[in-house]
Amino acid sequence: MEQTLARGTLADALRTSPNVRQAIDAIIEEVRRSSAQITDIRPPREDLRESYDAFMERVAQIRGRGLYYPYIGSGLGNGALVELADGSVKWDMIGGIGVNFFGHSDPELIEEALIASLDDVVKHGNLQSNADAYRFADKLIECASRSSRLRHCFLTTGGALANENALKICYQKHKPASRVIVFKDCFMGRTVTMAQLGDQPAYRDGIPLTVGVDYMPFFDEVAAQRMGHTRFIDMALMHLEQYIQRYPKQHAAFVFELIQGEGGFNTSTRDYFKALMECCKAHDIAVWDDEIQTFGRTTDMFAYEHLDLGEYIDVLTVGKMTQACACLFSEEYNPAPGLLSGTFTGETVSFRVGRRILERLDTPGRYGDDGLHAQHFRAFEEQVRALASRHPDWFPKVPEIRGGTNVDDIVGGCGGMMRFTPFAGDKTRVVNACRALYDEGVITFYCGHGPYHIRMLPPLGVMSLDDWPRVFEVVERGLQKVGA
């Protein structure tokens, strides 16, 4: 996008002033020095324990309940290592559930944040905006449009809001269709509508059901192996066609989460999605790809590229590691004026840091079968398999669960979406394992709805392959406590 915009303005003079440059360089140098002192995990400091516990108690009062993990960051880290406000240091293998792909205290991102702090305002809006919002969106479109028909972008502050906009776009294009097709185990956010689409009863407990939702089976590798891949696809197509016949012309969209996040890092074959997407096209149903968790971290920038499905996508949502969230859409799906707006689009800091992240993702060597993300996945897998061979009793075969999305391997995911499944995927033991790992010094989270898995969304943007044995040393110590 036009980089000469505003050249010669007073703001440009401020941003490029030698004094500002010098000040920023000095700050970055100081950040590097402080950050470099963090070199390994360590336990909490005794002298900080009391104030930390008191703060945690206050946080619980403020929120009405305690935090899931007793985590308050200090504001400093070094790559995948993060310092907490009690002075402890942990491996951060979940990155704010996928937000911090470039880890902690990354000098380049801090530099962007410092430049952003010079702006006259913090928030950009739809009525009045500075250039960074559009520069961020422009880079997103540049990347997305290479292998899809996506041409436009509308920004929001959160993933669920990006999804709300996607849904409105699909409704308007296919009016008066009002039903939505989603996959079993999907997660789409926590607004009133997204909680209804998501396949998790607890997340919509007490919420009146006002949206017509039809649930499709996600690809189940165990069932597909048993009955044959082609038959599995035929069965799914039959399922979809039944919905379409039951509610003719009433479906506005089918939401594809190509690798399920909360649902268990479930993957699928291209053929499965292709068959369903072609059926949508034949029946004039929008193909909406929710990449809020997958974006940037698989072995391609977009999961639709990884599966070569770009030609089918009408609407796409991204968030998390992008810092600002967005709904992208094709020419045909450009909605009428008035449908999308809102006071905020986001903050200068999110847009500048987000754009820098997109630029860093969009560099050679990161993606592809031998790219950095694939190499990290292999290093992770090697560690899990070595752990399982040392402790086979922690990794019994995952039993088939009727109604579950079943797996036939203790390792799964793709690129920077990594899961492993100890204790046969039993919920209580997996959740206890996550807590034990946290206490030991590695932050993970669980995913799945049965079987349950330990999930990692590690900061591959800054991790070294040599970090994996160090991370798994801690994982082994943590699991020892639950395994026993």
Ligand X SMILES: Cc1ncc(COP(=O)(O)O)c(C=O)c1O
CB 256 to ligand X: min, Å: 10
Site for ligand X in 313-332 (CB under 6 A): 319
212 scored as a contact of ligand X (CB under 6 A): no
- The residue from 91, 134, 183, 187 that contacts ligand X (CB under 6 A) is 187
Contacts of 226 (CB under 8 A, 6+ apart): none
- Hey, what are 49's tokens? 């324990």
- The residue from 77, 103, 261, 346 that contacts ligand X (CB under 6 A) is 261
* Cβ atoms within 10 Å of 332's Cβ, excluding its own: 10
CB 317 to ligand X: min, Å: 7
CB 432 to ligand X: min, Å: 23
Specify the 3-state DSSP secondary structure of 113: helix
446 scored as a contact of ligand X (CB under 6 A): no
Closest CB to ligand X among residues 182, 233: 182
**Residue pair 180/251 in contact by the 8 Å Cβ criterion:** yes
259 scored as a contact of ligand X (CB under 6 A): no
Give 31's Cβ-side CA count (13 Å radius).
Answer: 21
425 scored as a contact of ligand X (CB under 6 A): no
CB 319 to ligand X: min, Å: 5
Pick the stretch among 46-54, 85-93, 140-148, 287-295 that binds ligand X (CB under 6 A).
287-295
* Cβ atoms within 10 Å of 218's Cβ, excluding its own: 22
The residue sitting closest to ligand X, measured at its beta carbon, is 159
- Hey, what are 45's tokens? 């400091």
Cα–Cα dist 65/58, whole Å: 10
- Hey, what are 110's tokens? 């801090």
351 scored as a contact of ligand X (CB under 6 A): no
Closest CB to ligand X among residues 276, 303: 303
Beta pairing, strands 315-318 & 286-290: parallel
CB 221 to ligand X: min, Å: 20
Specify the 3-state DSSP secondary structure of 173: helix
**Residue pair 178/171 in contact by the 8 Å Cβ criterion:** yes
Pick the stretch among 11-19, 153-161, 218-226, 472-480 that binds ligand X (CB under 6 A).
153-161
* String of contacts with ligand X for each residue 50-89, x by CB under 6 A: ----------------------------------------
Specify the 3-state DSSP secondary structure of 367: coil
- Cis peptide leading into 176, omega within 30 of 0? yes
Site for ligand X in 29-48 (CB under 6 A): none
* Cβ atoms within 10 Å of 237's Cβ, excluding its own: 16
405 scored as a contact of ligand X (CB under 6 A): no
Interaction site with ligand X (CB under 6 A): 97, 158-160, 163, 187-189, 257, 261-262, 290, 292-293, 319
